[in-house]
Structure 1
Amino acid sequence: MKKAKITAYVDPALFDEIDALAARRRVPKTQIIEAALASLLSPDSAEQSEAAIVRRLDRLTRSLERLERDQEITTEALALFVRFWLTTTPPLPDDTYLAAKAKGKERYGGFVETLARRLGKGTTLTRELSREEPNPKVQD
């Protein structure tokens, strides 16, 4: 079949890329340009682009759902801790207040160090919870 001739002007950088690709694949530049035009003009091109976008959106949706789940776990864990702490911690007498305050400061420092170490290692509560099997004996 006889081919029609097209004369087109392209950016020199694009021409160099076409030339390099043709040399790498050991095919004529015409074949590269025909494939690019066929891909652009193909009716499937729009469907392929749409499918790719849908896949990306699905991935983003799953990622957001995981983030939402992790946020719920974090919020629930914090709420349970605060409830437990408030219901089990008795008020302190004045003579032990300063010692308790110093001990609390020391414990908080340890907490921050442990948190930094766990985050540095990539260890998180949500990962631990996802690995553990639920314990039916534990109730809130």
Structure 2
Amino acid sequence: MSTKKRSVRKNIHPYLPERLYDRFKGYCSKMGVTESSVVEEALTRFLDEQGDMPLVLRKIDRQTRSIERIDRDVKALSEAFSVFVQIYFAHTPEIAAEDKAVAQHDARNRYVKFIDYVAEQISAGRTLVDDLVQDRIGDRDELRRLIEQASRNEDES
């Protein structure tokens, strides 16, 4: 005779909506488990919070924060590019047709140097976004005023 001690078990009578009950019965049948074992496991996980949900939620939160950082960085880089293009157009005169070949050659050489410099910065772990001030310094209207002022100053020179 076995001296194995049985744990005291209590009987409960929960009520389920018909569709949930049908899913529950189907799951138990498909998995070959008892209804009691499924309810016990579900309640244990729910009450002890030992299920995967807290882990999944932490991972989702981490991914959300990562996406927010990427979004912030893309916005900063887009704005930096926009400012660069505006300043470039404000300060770069049209090139005469006879000077275009020399200018294109010079541009290719300068571009290669630029790419090399960017590669060095990235390999050293430095980024433009790291250098940016997190607080907003100005808005587009202020930028336009500064560009116009710089253009007037160049015209006066």
Amino acid at match of 1:3: K
Work out the CA distance in 2 between the residues paired with 1:75 and 1:119.
18
TM value normalised by structure 1: 0.61
Question: Where does 1:1-140 land on structure 2 (aligned, <5 Å)?
Answer: 2-3=4-5, 41=41, 43-46=43-46, 47-48=49-50, 49-129=52-132, 139-140=142-143
Aligned residues: 103
Deviations 1:5-34 (A, max 9, x none): xxxxxxxxxxxxxxxxxxxxxxxxxxxxxx
State the structure with more CA Rg.
2
Amino acid at match of 1:93: A
SS of the residue 1:95 aligns to: helix
Work out the CA distance in 2 between the residues paired with 1:52 and 1:43.
18
Amino acid at match of 1:55: R
CA drift at 1:103 = 1.3
Tell me the C-alpha RMSD between the 2 structures. Answer: 2.8
SS of the residue 2:5 aligns to: coil
Deviations 1:50-88 (A, max 9, x none): 222111111111111111111101111111111111121
Q: Which residue matches 2:28?
A: none
Q: Which residue matches 2:15?
A: none
CA drift at 1:102 = 1.7
Gaps of at least 5 residues in structure 1 are 5-39
SS of the residue 1:91 aligns to: coil
Amino acid at match of 1:41: E
Work out the CA distance in 1 between the residues paired with 2:127 and 2:119.
11
TM value normalised by structure 2: 0.55
Gaps of at least 5 residues in structure 2 are 7-39, 144-157
SS of the residue 1:104 aligns to: helix
